Every structure is written in C-alpha cells, then in structure tokens.
Amino acid sequence: MNLENNILEAINNKTSDGFEPFYIYQSKHIIDICNKFQNISYENKSIHFASMANINSQFLGIVKAEGLNIFVNSPLHLEAALKAGFRGNEIIFTSSALSEKAMKSIEKVGVQVNLDSLNQLALWSTLFPGKTVGIRINIGDNVKPYSSHAGAFIGKESRLGFTHDEISQIQDKSIIKGLHLYVGTDVFNIPYFIECYKELIKISAGFPQLEYLNFGGGFGVAENGDQQFDFDEYNHRVTELMHEVSAQKGKSIKLILEPGRIIGGNSGYFVCSVTDIKNRPDRKMAGVNASTVQFSRPLLYPDTANHPVVVIRNGVQIKTEKTQLTTVYGCSTYSRDIFTNNAMLPDLQIGDTIVIGNAGSYCASSYMQFLGFPKPEEYFV
C-alpha cells in the first residue's frame, strides 16, 4: 500500500508526540465510489448506503451530498440517519425478528421496510392492515452460495429471508411491493451476482404488485486496493437485466442497491504508534498504543481479516525490501489483542507510526467497549 501525498501529510499533521489512535478518511475516494453507483445507466434506481459499514455523521453527510439514500438495520442507526437529514422515504429498514414496539416506531417514520419471516409479515398485516411492504428472500440452493468470512446469506445454511416454502405460504401477496436479496459480502464475481438476481426475478413472477427489486450489497473491496470491482461490467449486466424485467412485467421496476463496504473501505486508515518492541526468535513483536477493540475486524474475523500495514518514520513512509515477519499487538492483556500476525514490515522502532489500510468500512463502526479503550476520533481530508 502506497500512501498518497495528501493522506500522508494529513496523518503527519495529526501524529505529534503522544497522539491517540484515530481513523482518517479520504473523502474524494468515498465520493468517487458513490458516483460509480449513481452512474449506473438504469434510470429507475435508488442507491442506499448500508450504514452498518460506517455510521459516522460526517461520512453519512458525504454520501448524502452525493445523492445516495440510506439503508439501516436497527432503530439506533435509523435515528442516526434521520439526524443526518435523510427523510423517511429515503431510508430502507431491513432487519429480522422485529418486536411489535420496534415495528410500530419504524412504520411511523415512513421508511421502506423489508420483513424477514411469515410471522413478521402477519404482525405487520395486523398492525397496518392493507399497507404494502417488502420481504427478504432466501433464493435457496439453486445457486451455490458464495462462502465468505461473514457467514451464509442464501441457501439452507442461512437464517435469513423467506424460503421457497415460506413464500408459498404467504396468503396475501398483493401487499408485497418489493423483494430484497443479499447475496454475500466482498464479492467480485459479477456472473455470481447476476445468477442470484435471476433467481430472485424468477421468484418475482408470483408477486403481481411488484414495484422494486432490492439486490442488496456485497461489492468486493481488495485488501490493498489492487483489485478493482468491475463497475463497467456490473453496470452493463445489471442494466440489461433490469430492462428485461421491466419489459417482462410491462412496467418500470425500480432497482435498489445497498452498497456498504465498497463505499468507504479503501478510503479509510487506522493510525496508531509503536510503544513497545519484543524480539522473539521467529519474529518481531510490536506493541502499539491501541487495542483491536478500537479496530475490531481482527477480533471478529481472526483468520480472514487482512489489512495492509505501512510504517511512517520521521514523516516519511518507509519503503524497503528489507522486511521481517512482524506481529502487531494491542496494549491490553487480552491474548487475542493482535492486529496482525503475519505482516512483513521494516525493522520497527518505538515511536514509529503504524497505518492500517482498508479501514473505512466495518472498522470504526464496530468499535467495542470491551477492555476499556476510547472510541477513536475520525477525521476526513
């Protein structure tokens, strides 16, 4: 990972002696990715940023200014979305196992809701007779589910969505105005997206009142920013597909997407500093002034969370061929407080600045109070 000049400069400005760990984002990159979605050729569309990826108010302000709407999955994130200025009709609420109280409060705001089960649909119909709603679909095992670090989102292993059998038990399909699907996360394989979307479209034949197809998120982000999601190909394939569906149904069907990770993943960095060094026979161990509870992907996904690490010394990114196997560990007593076990890094010294990349999504938003470290500040350049 090579830091661009503007981010290096901004990091240097914030890393005076004794600085606390922080996140920093390059707004321009967030904006670029928002625009890629806004430029999808199919016109009848709505792009909703998935707020679980980053709930920072400034981040939400950036995506809003670029014309994106928002998708939330909890009442607290709904509150944050409203506070950021999104109106009810710009918000999608999709979750599971909503209590009656939560369902009532969400409905009041006028958001677009997608329900996850027959019981939830029955509760909705009792509370709001005749009111239209969307449902989340589990397309089943016709498509081999893409397996990812984050679990199963379709197929028999997934807890989410209406199965084929459950769909057949829906008594009044006339209130269903939209179908929702989420195919998996960190996916680069465009034929896989399209194959899944086609399964949803097959299912949509049973829903005469259909107004939208929500294909969720899942767009891949490369660890080092070395592989790019192929937006041109995606645009071409999804636009073609949506034109076909609309022609089949004799009306324009709205395309909804809920990109999360890709919007800010590679725009964000987590910055901390080396406070201790241990020399072990097989590796160098570098302790930092931060804990993984402040950057929790290595805790949540210990075997798969891989983030590029670079080192700044005296204001300059160290680029050397001479590297060694290094563990970067946090400043708690928790044995798993480890940022990375397998980084090849220059010979670290106390006082070096450590910059961890691909930190813009699911990082600051998954901060934990566990162990007792403060929530890091977040800055935008």
Binding site for ligand PLP (CB under 6 A): 50, 52-53, 71, 94, 182, 185, 216-219, 258-262
Furthest C-alpha separation in the chain: 70
Interhelix angle 75-83/100-109, nearest 10 degrees:
20
CA-based radius of gyration for the chain: 22
Q: Which residues pair with 313 in a beta bridge?
A: 316
Q: What's the min distance (Å) between Cβ of 347 and ligand PLP?
A: 36
Side chain identity, residue 64: K
Q: Which residues pair with 135 in a beta bridge?
A: 115, 179
Q: What's the min distance (Å) between Cβ of 219 and ligand PLP?
A: 5
Q: Which is nearer to ligand PLP, 217 or 357 (CB)?
A: 217
Q: What's the min distance (Å) between Cβ of 161 and ligand PLP?
A: 10
Q: Which is nearer to ligand PLP, 19 or 188 (CB)?
A: 188
Q: Which is nearer to ligand PLP, 145 or 218 (CB)?
A: 218
Q: Which is nearer to ligand PLP, 273 or 365 (CB)?
A: 365
Q: What's the min distance (Å) between Cβ of 263 and ligand PLP?
A: 8
The answer to whether 348 touches 312, Cβ cutoff 8 Å, is no
Q: Which is nearer to ligand PLP, 94 or 117 (CB)?
A: 94
Q: What's the min distance (Å) between Cβ of 262 and ligand PLP?
A: 6
Tokens 């022609």 sit on residue: 247
The distance from CA 237 to its chain's CA centroid, rounded to whole angstroms, is 22
Q: Which residues pair with 325 in a beta bridge?
A: 344
Tokens 């705001």 sit on residue: 109
Tokens 């939560």 sit on residue: 102
Residue 348, C-beta contacts closer than 8 angstroms, at least 6 positions apart: 274, 277, 284, 286, 311, 326
Q: What's the min distance (Å) between Cβ of 90 and ligand PLP?
A: 16
Q: Which is nearer to ligand PLP, 215 or 295 (CB)?
A: 215
- Under DSSP, the state recorded for 365 is G
Q: Which is nearer to ligand PLP, 154 or 201 (CB)?
A: 154
Q: Which is nearer to ligand PLP, 259 or 346 (CB)?
A: 259
Q: What's the min distance (Å) between Cβ of 178 and ligand PLP?
A: 13
Please state, in angstroms and as integers, the Cα–Cα distance from residue 149 to each residue in 161, 300, 380, following that order.
19, 10, 29
Q: Token pair for residue 258?
A: 């809920």
Q: What's the min distance (Å) between Cβ of 94 and ligand PLP?
A: 5
Please state, in angstroms and as integers, the Cα–Cα distance from residue 307 to each residue in 210, 223, 225, 235, 321, following that order.
41, 6, 10, 28, 19
